[in-house]
C-alpha cells in the first residue's frame, strides 16, 4: 500500500514543476524569446502554441515588417503572460516537431477545463513495463529490476 504522505509529496512536486513552467513561459513571452505561433482548436475551446528561436521556430513578426502587426503580436504575448502569471491559463503540453518544439497554453478562459495534476499508479506501470519487455525481448520478468 502506498504511503499517503509520499503520494502527496510527489503530487506537490508535480504541481510546483508545472507552476514553474508557467512562470518561465511567461518570462519568455515578456522578453520576446517566444511568441504565439499557432492556434489549436480543441473540442469546446482552443489552445495557443508559443515558440521562437529558442525552440527552433522563427519568431513571428508583422508581414513585410509591418510595425502595427508586430505591436499587436507583442500585446498578445503580454496578455498571455499575464494570464499565465495569474494562473488563468497553464502550459498544457509540448508539441514536438523535427528540429523544433513549442509550448501549448490553454485554460478555462479559452474554454478548456483546467487539468489537475495526478500521479500514475507506479506499481501498475512497472508491472506493465516488465510484461512488455519480457514479451517482446524474451527476457525473464524476474530479471527486470525497477
pLDDT of residue 128: 82
Q: How far apart are CA 144 and CA 80, in angstroms?
A: 46
Please indicate, yes or no, whether residues 52 and 72 belong to a single structural domain of this protein.
yes
pLDDT of residue 84: 96
Please indicate, yes or no, whether residues 16 and 55 belong to a single structural domain of this protein.
yes
pLDDT of residue 29: 94
Please indicate, yes or no, whether residues 140 and 103 belong to a single structural domain of this protein.
no
DSSP 88: S
> Residue 69 has which C-alpha cell?
502587426
Please indicate, yes or no, whether residues 96 and 70 belong to a single structural domain of this protein.
yes
Please indicate, yes or no, whether residues 107 and 122 belong to a single structural domain of this protein.
no
pTM: 0.74
pLDDT, mean of each 10-residue run, the chain (146 residues): 65 88 95 91 92 83 74 91 95 89 93 81 76 78 64
Please indicate, yes or no, whether residues 128 and 74 belong to a single structural domain of this protein.
no
Please indicate, yes or no, whether residues 73 and 122 belong to a single structural domain of this protein.
no
Burial of 19 (0-12, 13-18, 19+ CB in 10 A): middle
Please indicate, yes or no, whether residues 64 and 124 belong to a single structural domain of this protein.
no
Supply the range of the domain harboring residue 79.
4-113
Amino acid at each position: 500500500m502506498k504511503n499517503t504522505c509520499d503520494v502527496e509529496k510527489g503530487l506537490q512536486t508535480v504541481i510546483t514543476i508545472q507552476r514553474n513552467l508557467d512562470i518561465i513561459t511567461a518570462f519568455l513571452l515578456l522578453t520576446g524569446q517566444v511568441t504565439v505561433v499557432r492556434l489549436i482548436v480543441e473540442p469546446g475551446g482552443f489552445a495557443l502554441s508559443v515558440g521562437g528561436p529558442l525552440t527552433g521556430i522563427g519568431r513571428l513578426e508583422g508581414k513585410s515588417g509591418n510595425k502595427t502587426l508586430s505591436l499587436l503580436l507583442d500585446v498578445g504575448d503580454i496578455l498571455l503572460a499575464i494570464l499565465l502569471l495569474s494562473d488563468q491559463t497553464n502550459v498544457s503540453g509540448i508539441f514536438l516537431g523535427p528540429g523544433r518544439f513549442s509550448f501549448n497554453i490553454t485554460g478555462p478562459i479559452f474554454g478548456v477545463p483546467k487539468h489537475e495534476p495526478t500521479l500514475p499508479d507506479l506499481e501498475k506501470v512497472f508491472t506493465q513495463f516488465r510484461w512488455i519487455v519480457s514479451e517482446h525481448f524474451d527476457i525473464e520478468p524476474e530479471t527486470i529490476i525497477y
